[in-house]
């Protein structure tokens, strides 16, 4: 098990504009963050690290849904445990979408409102650990007309951003964006 220091990792930052009924990063103006090759750890080791830092609580281990969705009630932290995958952030038809290939050891900080989905599991064993800030419970929004857009916007606007980095505590990038 190893966790590389924040100064040794590459971090991608992506601001994704609102598109149709998907707010993306427009409400908080906080970027989608991808910490590349930040760790080498099993799900239980990553879970222990996240619990030690105590910013988010690990809640599930799974792949990513293939249907584009976002959360209005919480930010999300995804630690890639195994495999490689092509993901889509921002909405599959959005011309400003981001489609990174992520792999084991990457950590993704997904701001509330950012649509995300699995496009392709490249190795057949893509697995993530999903975590959320204390006291937050995820919902599922799809950017469809039956959803109350004003309520979604209000819910996202009321969420506080991280005061400590989920993986690095006081040293990580999430608190400086």
| CATH number of the domain encompassing residue 101 | 2.60.120
pLDDT digits (tens, 9 = 90+) for 39-86: 999 999 999 999 999 999 999 999 999 999 999 999 999 999 999 999
Mean pLDDT over 150-177 rounds to 96
Asked, for residue 158, whether it belongs to a domain, the answer is: no
Q: What is the dihedral of CA 60, 63, 69, 71, to 10 degrees?
A: 20
What distances in angstroms separate CA 149 from CA 29, 146, 154, one per listed residue?
Answer: 18, 9, 9
pLDDT of amino acid 112: 98
Q: 62 and 128 in contact (C-beta within 8 Å)?
A: yes
Whole-model pTM over 0.95: yes
For 169: left if phi > 0, alpha if psi spans -120 to 50, otherwise beta; the answer is left
pLDDT of amino acid 83: 98
Q: Whole domain around residue 23: which residue ranges?
A: 2-151
Asked, for residue 48, whether it belongs to a domain, the answer is: yes
Residues in the chain: 177
Asked, for residue 120, whether it belongs to a domain, the answer is: yes
Asked, for residue 171, whether it belongs to a domain, the answer is: no
**Candidate from 1-5, 32-36, 80-84, 116-120 with smallest mean pLDDT:** 1-5
Assess whether pLDDT exceeds 90 at residue 1. Answer: no
- Half-sphere exposure at residue 113, Cβ-oriented, CA atoms within 13 angstroms: 29
pLDDT digits (tens, 9 = 90+) for 19-50: 999 999 999 999 999 999 999 999 999 999 99
Asked, for residue 115, whether it belongs to a domain, the answer is: yes
Asked, for residue 172, whether it belongs to a domain, the answer is: no
**Cα–Cα nearest to 168, from 159, 160, 176:** 176
Q: In the structure encoding, which two tokens stand for residue 143, read together? A: 């950017």
Place of tokens 């222990």: 48
Asked, for residue 162, whether it belongs to a domain, the answer is: no
d(CA 49, CA 45): 6
Q: 89 and 116 in contact (C-beta within 8 Å)?
A: yes
> Would you place residue 137 in the very low, low, confident or very high pLDDT band (cuts 50, 70, 90)?
very high
Asked, for residue 50, whether it belongs to a domain, the answer is: yes
Mean pLDDT score of the chain: 97
Q: How many domains does the chain have?
A: 1
């Amino acid at each position: 098990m190893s966790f590389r220091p924040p100064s040794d990792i590459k971090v991608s930052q992506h601001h994704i504009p609102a598109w149709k009924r998907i707010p993306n990063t427009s409400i908080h103006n906080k970027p989608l963050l991808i910490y590349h090759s930040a760790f080498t750890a099993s799900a239980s080791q990553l879970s222990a690290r996240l619990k030690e830092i105590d910013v988010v609580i690990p809640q599930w281990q799974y792949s990513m849904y293939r249907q584009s969705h976002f959360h209005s009630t919480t930010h999300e932290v995804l630690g890639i445990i195994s495999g490689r995958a092509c993901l889509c952030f921002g909405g599959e038809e959005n011309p400003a979408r981001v489609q990174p290939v992520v792999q084991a050891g990457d950590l993704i900080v997904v701001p509330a409102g950012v649509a995300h989905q699995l496009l392709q599991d490249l190795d057949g064993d893509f697995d993530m650990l999903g975590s959320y800030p204390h006291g937050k419970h995820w919902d599922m929004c799809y950017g469809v007309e039956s959803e109350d857009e004003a309520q979604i916007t209000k819910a996202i606007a009321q969420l506080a951003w991280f005061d400590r980095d989920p993986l690095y505590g006081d040293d990580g990038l999430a608190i400086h964006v």
